[in-house]
Amino acid sequence: MTALLIGQLAKRAGVATPTIRYYESIRLLQTPPRSSSGYRRYPEGTVEELAFIKKAQALGFSLDEIREILELSRAGRTPCEHVLAMAHRHLEVVEQRIRQLQRFRDRLAAEVGKWNGKTTPTCRGLCQIIASADAGSGTEPVELTGRQRVPQARH
């Protein structure tokens, strides 16, 4: 069996070397043996583990969940039932998010519809399009960039 150095592994798996080190530090990847000169020597199977991690992340699994799955597998247990239960929970969250986005879309479309075709207001201060908007039914603000909102510090 051929062992891979971290750079070789990173290239074959399509990830950065700091990512591999991070995955080791959080026990997502097992710590590999080291050569006499101190280099990490990864088994070939680590390429497949990294591919699995990337696929699981693309499906919305957290690193903690992926670690659980990998630990079950390494212990010789079949993790599929556990994965299916997690996938059901993820699907519920996605469906809830879709409903939230549909409500947001309806609110936004209604506001755009009110102003569509009108001359652009020449207002001072706050934009009247937003200021006159219906607050809706208490729907939480939706971040369209996919990033989580970070609360602003108060001064």
Q: Is residue 144 part of a domain?
A: no
Q: How high is the pLDDT of residue 150?
A: 46
The model's pLDDT over 124-154, given as tens digits with 9 standing for 90+, comes to 666 766 777 766 655 566 565 555 444 454 4
Structural domain boundaries, residue 111 = 80-131
User: Quick one: CA dihedral 142, 143, 147, 153, positive or negative?
Assistant: negative
Residue finishing a domain among 32, 56, 74? 74
Mean pLDDT throughout 85-101? 94
Q: Please state the φ and ψ torsions of residue 18, each to the nearest 5 degrees.
A: -60, -30
| Same structural domain, 69 and 111 | no
Q: What is the percentage of the chain residues whose pLDDT exceeds 70?
A: 77
As for how many domains the chain has, the answer is 2
| Same structural domain, 68 and 92 | no
| Same structural domain, 124 and 92 | yes
Model confidence band, residue 155 (pLDDT cutoffs 50, 70, 90): very low
**What's the CATH number where 63 sits?**
1.10.1660.10
Q: Is residue 137 part of a domain?
A: no
* pTM tops 0.75: no
- Report the mean per-residue pLDDT for the chain: 85
Residues 6+ apart with CB under 8 A from 53: 23, 28, 63, 66, 70
Residues 6+ apart with CB under 8 A from 111: 129, 133, 134
DSSP H stretches of helix in 37-154: 45-58, 63-74, 80-115, 128-131
| Same structural domain, 61 and 100 | no
| Same structural domain, 58 and 103 | no
Q: How many CA atoms lie within 13 A of 73 on its CB side?
A: 14
| Same structural domain, 47 and 69 | yes
Residue carrying structure tokens 């993790």: 79
| Same structural domain, 20 and 69 | yes
Q: Is residue 88 part of a domain?
A: yes
The model's pLDDT over 48-91, given as tens digits with 9 standing for 90+, comes to 999 999 999 999 999 999 999 999 999 999 889 999 999 999 99
Residues 6+ apart with CB under 8 A from 88: none
Q: Is residue 142 part of a domain?
A: no
